[in-house]
Each structure stands twice: as C-alpha cells, then as structure tokens.
Amino acid sequence: MGKFIVRRLVLLLLTMLLVSMAVFLITEASPGNVARNVLGAFVTPEQEASFLAQLGLDKPVWQRYVHWLFGSDWKAARKIGLRLKRLVTEKGFVEWWAIDESGRPVRWKLQGDDLVAELRQPDGKTVRKIDNRRWESDPQGGWSFWGVDNANHAVRWQKGTDRKVWTFIMGSGWKQSSGGPEEYLPLKKGFIRGDPGESLRTGRPVGDSLYVRLRNSLVLAGIAFVIVMPLALFLGLLAGLKEGSIRDRVLSVGGMMFSVIPEFATGIFLILIVAVWWQLVPGATVFGEKAPWERPDMLILPVLTLTLIELGYVLRITRASMVEVMRSPYIRTAYLKGLPYWRIITKHAVRNALMAPITVIMLHVNWLMGGIVIVEVVFGYPGLGKYLLDSALYKDINALEAGAMILVIVAVGTQLVADIIYTIINPRIRYT
C-alpha cells in the first residue's frame, strides 16, 4: 500500500510537470499579446517591446519556463554578484533587494548618467546616495552594471552608449543621457520554491488572489457536494430498487433532464425567475472582501444550479449500481433464504451498491470543477474557475499555471483517495 501511494505521488509530480509544460507551450502558441491586453489597445510597438522586456517575455520560451519553475533570483544573484532577498513590506507589497557588502538591503536607479543607490534602513525608510563606483567598463567601450531596480527586476544598466535618451529628473528637469536599462530579468523564486509569480493581468502576486479564489470555490463546491451527495445517493438507491418501475423512470429521466440543460441556461433562468420575478433571493454574488459564508443567501442560486447539474449524474450511477446488485445471485439467495425484504435491502444491497458510486464520485470532482467555472461566470462569483477563465483569455501564464496545478492536484489527489477508499470497502483488491 505504502509503495502504491509513493508510486502514485511520483506519477502526480510527473503529471504536473507534463501539464505545466503543455500549458506553457499551448499558451505560447496561441495568438494574443499580453502587452496589448495590459497596456490597452493604443500602445506603440516600442512601448510594447519595452513592456515585454520588463516582464521577461522577450526571452525564449524554455528560459521562461525554467524561470517560472525554478526562479530567476539565483541567476540574477550570479550576475549582480550580491545576495538577493525577498521582503514583504508592511502594506503587503513584495520587494526584492540586493544585500550589499555590509549586509544592508540596497536597490538602484539611474538618474541621467548617475547610478543612485537606495539603502533600506531598518525602519523601512530609504536613504539615497550616488553609487557610481559600481559601473564596470564593457567591451563596447561603455559602462554597464547589473543591479536591482524598484520594480523587482534585475536590470543591466548601460551608459556611454550611442543611444541618446532624454530623461526627466525632478528638480533639474529634462537631461540628456547616454544609456539606460538594457536588459531585464524579472525576479521570482519559482513555482517549486513556493512562488507562483505575479499575475500579468492584475499585477498581484498569484498566491494572494488564488488563496481567496480557491477558498470561495471550495465553499461553493463543498456546499453543493454536501447537498448533492446524500440526496443523489438516496434517490439513486430508491430508483434502482425496482428497475423499470414508475418511480425509477421518473427519477432517472428527471435527473437526466436537469443534468443536460446547460448550466449557463439553468443559471440565467433561475436568476430571471427566482431573483427578478419572485425576488426571493439575490441573483448575484457580491462579497467585496467578505467571505462567502457571511452571505449565505447569495449562495442559494449558484448552489441550486450546481445541484441540478450534478444530481442527475450521481443519481444515475447509483441507480445503475443498485440495479446490478439487485440482479445479483446473492440477493436472490437472500430472498430464497426468506429474509425480510427491508433487511435484505439495508444489510446486503445498499452496502454493495454504494461501493461503485463513491469511487466514481471522487473521480467526478474534476468534472465538478468544470461546472463551477460556468456557474461562477453566470453569477459573478469570485472563484477559482472565473479567475482561470480570465487568465486563459488574457494569456496570463503565471496565474494559469498556478490554477492548472491546483486543479491537477485536486483531480489526481481525488483519484488517489478514490483508490484508497476502494481498497477499504473492497478488501479483495490489493495494490502492489
């Protein structure tokens, strides 16, 4: 058993690796351009190029994948020659600093031809000083320097190049200088070191948004799960008890009907009827920074929509399983032994009939996630599904990858749990 679990965990990691590569490649191949999405329609090509460079999107795809997975700070630290440190400020902003020779955090910026160091004091304030000694002469005859800027990039600044640029310095006005930032390396720790990066779409650390979104989705899915499962199992057993009876037909066909009406249609008609015409419950979810459980009335319609979709599916699996059990020889034997009807049902049939649905339900979690995406869109629910949908449309690779990884863990993890439950209720199966 232990060996089996270890094997499955290794497979999980392998699957995650494969999926993350595939998502990276497909996103890469798809049309669309983050710069246009973020900066708006009216950017010029130069602005676009500089934006892409600052995000590190001008680098080849394999390099970006490596940075995403393992981080880029180790690479930047080698170029800068100083240790780098990731700080979270009081207001919650993530900042990268280099640690200078005397152990103080430092960043730089270029003012005209001067390199200005910003030294972070223990109280969070910064002190500035000219730091031109760090320039190193480069083979082209100019000067260059790798450092950290105030927007979490490692930057190679240059001066003394042919490029003449005008920069605006407060206090002294516009000045002509001869260089500027030449190359950017956005700093991140990498996914396997616990940093999924910053969302390109919102500019926020993916982890922050994802936590709230995942929580909200889990609440929605959890409530739906708790309502659907007992109900569906019960109705399924009831339907399967006597195959072909009116009760069976009504329940299984009824369940099927609801499960095949597309959830976007169910959702909007529920809004129209229950929220707009009858005005019973809110037709939308508006949480602000509140948690979903603080407004349970707003969860009613989304949960109802999910329930309608999911109920029929589980009901029919349970029914099929129950039908099979009721046909099986041991039930017939029990009859022949003269055991009372309800005893046969409760003692023999139900236990066996529930085996298959429980595992299938676990495997079904993946599909449940799909239904949640649409329900979240229809009700404006701030969940993971909607976040992923937006991320996919915007080519927001960091957010997409992190979300996909979570979903893979959920999908493969529930499969594993299903297998384990299966061995517990059916001890004849052994995994090696």
How far is Cα 414 from Cα 294, in angstroms, rounded to an integer?
28
Backbone phi and psi for residue 90, each to the nearest 5 degrees, phi listed first: -55, -40
* Cβ(232)–Cβ(318) below 8 Å: yes
Residue from 67, 188, 201, 348 binding another protein (CB under 8 A): 201
Based on the shown chain and the rule CB under 8 A, indicate whether residue 29 belongs to the binding site for another protein. Answer: yes
H-run or E-run covering 81: none
Options 133-141, 225-233, 338-346, 370-378: segment touching another protein (CB under 8 A): 370-378
The two most distant CA atoms of the chain are separated, in Å, by: 102
Based on the shown chain and the rule CB under 8 A, indicate whether residue 320 belongs to the binding site for another protein. Answer: yes
Chain positions 65 to 84 lying near another protein, rule: CB under 8 A, are none
Binding mask 114-133 for another protein (x = CB under 8 A): --------------------
User: Using alpha carbons only, what angle is made at residue 170 by residues 167 and 176, rounded to the nearest 5 degrees?
Assistant: 25
Options 70-78, 136-144, 338-346, 365-373: segment touching another protein (CB under 8 A): 365-373
- Identify which of residues 339 and 425 has a Cβ nearer to another protein in the complex: 425
Q: b vs e for 67-81, b when ≥16 Cβ sit within 10 Å of the residue's Cβ?
A: bbbbbbbebbbeebe
Residue from 324, 328, 331, 339 binding another protein (CB under 8 A): 324
How far is Cα 176 from Cα 350, in angstroms, rounded to an integer?
83
Residue from 62, 211, 234, 269 binding another protein (CB under 8 A): 269
Backbone phi and psi for residue 45, each to the nearest 5 degrees, phi listed first: -55, -35
Based on the shown chain and the rule CB under 8 A, indicate whether residue 111 belongs to the binding site for another protein. Answer: no
Residue from 66, 99, 377, 417 binding another protein (CB under 8 A): 377
Residue from 161, 177, 305, 321 binding another protein (CB under 8 A): 321
Based on the shown chain and the rule CB under 8 A, indicate whether residue 342 belongs to the binding site for another protein. Answer: no
State the minimum distance, in angstroms, from the CB of residue 309 to another protein. Answer: 9
Residue given tokens 């976040």 in the structure block:
387
User: Tokens representing 382?
Assistant: 């701030």
Q: Which residues contact 62 (CB under 8 A, 6 or more apart)?
A: none
* Cβ(149)–Cβ(76) below 8 Å: no
Chain positions 223 to 262 lying near another protein, rule: CB under 8 A, are 253, 256-257, 259-262
Chain positions 298 to 317 lying near another protein, rule: CB under 8 A, are 313, 316-317
Based on the shown chain and the rule CB under 8 A, indicate whether residue 291 belongs to the binding site for another protein. Answer: no
Residue from 1, 9, 13, 32 binding another protein (CB under 8 A): 32
How far is Cα 375 from Cα 369, in angstroms, rounded to an integer?
10
State the minimum distance, in angstroms, from the CB of residue 215 to another protein. Answer: 12
